[in-house]
């Protein structure tokens, strides 16, 4: 049987670019400001009277670089020294405006691959300290989770993050009543769970998977999308299937097959493809409306959705046709599903000939 793994990662962007901004503030000015503060007092935090000036610089940088398409920093291939800014967010800062601006600045800087790959263990220790400190302030916790999401886009960073107690941090964030914190924490889990090392570590936490399953029923679309994306990745590990079944996750996934967001429906189909490797789960899926919904998704305008639906149908119905994978009836069924998938793609190309497929870069 086939196993599906979703891309499950997207580097987060901030809000829209605002008009009427101050004169340009490149990051190197912020970096120099922080280094001057560190040289004077042994800390990256400048004297109290200079905090407002630093906040203004950070806010201006954020406004100018909020949109990747117009961000001069994002377009630059130059690597930024994030050390001083990491140290700043790792400090105990009671000024929420300064912390918010610093975290958003760090989120913007972490879009660049060069910057993400340059982070070291000390940087993650600062982030872990920050995540714990802001856990009861929803706006700051949500932004901190976005920063973690971005850095964990890189496989090499996942182990560093986990070594700093990352699982416990995200587990705590999932328990938040704030939907923004839930969504961004699930997004960070989506990034971490894309990598095998991350999945193994996440699954060692006994209560994490049930919490993710519970979020599938959220009224907030972004929470559902991130949670089902993380579950899609995690369900590729055989040890998760029984837990998902026992937590009524299969029923939730079947319901999400009808979600108007193609990415959500595709992740739900991918997760069902994975859990259908277990006989008990496969029986539950067959007794539901899943097969009908999956057949409809073969004509979806979302290619990942079509592919995952095809894989799920082959896993769910294939064993009923024949217990032998390479038998003539199984091969005929696979060919039928492939033809339906091809027809769906052709049908959508006729409806929208200018459509393109691929992961969005933000």
Residue 153 or 43, more confident: 153
Per-domain residue ranges of the chain:
239-353
Are 133 and 92 in contact by the 8 Å Cβ rule? The answer is: yes
- pLDDT for 356 equals 35
Span 301-315, average pLDDT: 85
% of the chain surpassing 70 pLDDT:
77
Q: Which of 68, 65, 75 is nearest to 24 (CA)?
A: 65
- pLDDT for 47 equals 56
Ramachandran angles phi, psi of 219, nearest 5°: -80, -10
Using the predicted structure, report yes or no on whether residue 12 has a pLDDT greater than 50.
Answer: no
3 state SS of 23: coil
Which pLDDT tens digit goes with each residue over 138-151?
Answer: 999 999 999 999 99
Backbone angle region of 195, left / alpha / beta, with phi > 0 → left and psi within -120 to 50 → alpha: beta
Are 223 and 179 in contact by the 8 Å Cβ rule? The answer is: yes
- pLDDT for 35 equals 84
Exposed/middle/buried for residue 306 (C-beta within 10 Å: 0-12, 13-18, 19+): buried
Which pLDDT tens digit goes with each residue over 322-342?
Answer: 666 666 666 665 666 666 666
Using the predicted structure, report yes or no on whether residue 112 has a pLDDT greater than 50.
Answer: yes
pTM: 0.82
């Amino acid at each position: 049987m086939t196993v599906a793994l979703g891309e499950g990662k997207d580097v987060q962007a901030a809000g829209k670019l605002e008009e009427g901004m101050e004169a340009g503030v490149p990051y190197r000015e912020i970096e120099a400001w922080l280094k001057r503060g560190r040289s004077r007092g042994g800390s990256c935090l400048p004297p109290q009277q200079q905090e407002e000036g630093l906040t203004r610089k950070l806010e201006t940088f954020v406004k100018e670089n909020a949109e990747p398409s117009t961000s001069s920093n994002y377009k630059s291939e130059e690597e930024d020294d994030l050390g001083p800014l990491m140290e700043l967010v790792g400090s105990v800062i009671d000024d929420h405006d300064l912390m918010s601006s610093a975290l958003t600045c760090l989120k913007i800087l972490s879009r660049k691959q060069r910057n993400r790959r340059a982070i070291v263990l000390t940087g993650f220790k600062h982030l872990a300290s920050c995540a714990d400190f802001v856990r009861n302030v929803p706006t700051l916790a949500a932004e901190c989770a976005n920063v973690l999401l971005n850095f964990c886009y890189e496989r090499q960073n996942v182990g560093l993050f986990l070594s700093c107690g990352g699982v416990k941090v995200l587990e705590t964030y999932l328990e938040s009543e704030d939907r923004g914190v839930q969504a961004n924490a699930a997004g960070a889990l989506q990034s971490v769970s894309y990598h095998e090392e991350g999945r193994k570590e996440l699954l060692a936490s006994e209560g994490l998977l049930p919490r993710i399953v519970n979020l599938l029923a959220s009224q907030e679309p972004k929470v559902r999308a991130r949670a089902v994306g993380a579950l899609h990745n995690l369900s590729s590990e055989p040890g998760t299937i029984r837990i998902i079944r026992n937590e009524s996750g299969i029923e939730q996934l079947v319901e999400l097959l009808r979600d108007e967001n193609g990415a959500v429906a595709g992740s739900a189909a991918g997760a069902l493809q994975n859990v259908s490797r277990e006989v008990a789960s496969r029986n539950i899926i067959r007794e539901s409306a899943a097969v009908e919904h999956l057949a409809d998704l073969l004509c979806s305008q979302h290619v990942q959705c079509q592919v995952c639906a095809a894989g799920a149908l082959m896993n769910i119905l294939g064993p009923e046709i024949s217990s032998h994978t390479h038998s003539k009836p199984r091969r005929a069924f696979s060919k039928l599903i492939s033809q339906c998938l091809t027809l769906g793609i052709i049908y959508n190309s006729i409806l929208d000939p200018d459509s393109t497929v691929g992961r969005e870069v933000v």
